[in-house]
Structure 1
């Protein structure tokens, strides 16, 4: 008579090890999936010159910056946004010249470099783009400072 080996313990152990490996891989996958290449951030800006203003929020993503704001032009004004990685310009956009009107002025800046943009410059001019009236530099870390830094 041939005695058969009891394989239920071996199968049970194999199943437990397989389930543990699968669970560990699943948790590791969730950790890696939740970690973006560059952390997102946001900062509230406020560029005010007399009765004119451009106020809103800049939101950083991995390879872009969304700038959503309200623009009020007293006399003729224009707003500009410029994305940087350090001191290197990545993208630049502006509104048209607005005269005595208000409304939303939203931009999406490309920041297609490793790590994306770390700061933006938001500023207002007269209809002459060389006449900067007021500016703020905003950082991905979540704050803005007056002027161009």
Structure 2
């Protein structure tokens, strides 16, 4: 019985030592590039971070609507061809999360994103272009 216990403990110690010596999973992968965005129109704004993936762009942030506003985000190629877009619903006098992924299904992904603060009828009030880093 003692022999089996010693073998089992030795195996666990060996496995533990091997795991401790191994690099952490994902330690060799590079992070996706990010860009901060801030589109302010009066007291309303859309602010957050764009994350540039290979065939999409993630957007995480906040829409602050004073009156009724919505946020719109569109992806484009280097030739300024529109790829796709996402928007929040119309929000009135509220703070609302922006959590979306905008498709950019072309090799290399989107070259730039346009972020807009729109009125309640989806008419752009202010737009800003953010280029892929």
When normalised by structure 1's length, the TM-score is 0.66
Matched, 1:58 2:58: no
Q: Secondary structure at the match of 1:62?
A: coil
Q: CA deviation at 1:91?
A: 1.0
In structure 2, distance between residues paired with 1:106 and 1:34: 24
In structure 1, distance between residues paired with 2:43 and 2:103: 31
Deviation string for 1:44-90 (max 9, x for gaps)?
11011111111001010111100111111000001100011121111
Runs of 4+ in 1 over 4 A off after TM superposition: none
In structure 2, distance between residues paired with 1:103 and 1:82: 19
Q: Quick one: which of 80, 92, 96 aligns to 2:85?
A: 92
Alignment gaps of 5+ in structure 2: 1-27
Alignment gaps of 5+ in structure 1: 1-32, 142-149
In structure 2, distance between residues paired with 1:103 and 1:40: 25
Q: CA RMSD in A?
A: 1.8
Q: Quick one: which of 109, 113, 121 aligns to 1:116?
A: 109
Q: Secondary structure at the match of 1:96?
A: coil
Query: Which one has a bigger Cα radius of gyration?
Result: 1
Q: Name the structure 2 match of 1:72.
A: 64
Deviation string for 1:75-115 (max 9, x for gaps)?
00011000111211111111111000103111101111111
When normalised by structure 2's length, the TM-score is 0.73
Q: Name the structure 1 match of 2:129.
A: 137
Q: Secondary structure at the match of 2:71?
A: strand
Q: Secondary structure at the match of 1:129?
A: coil
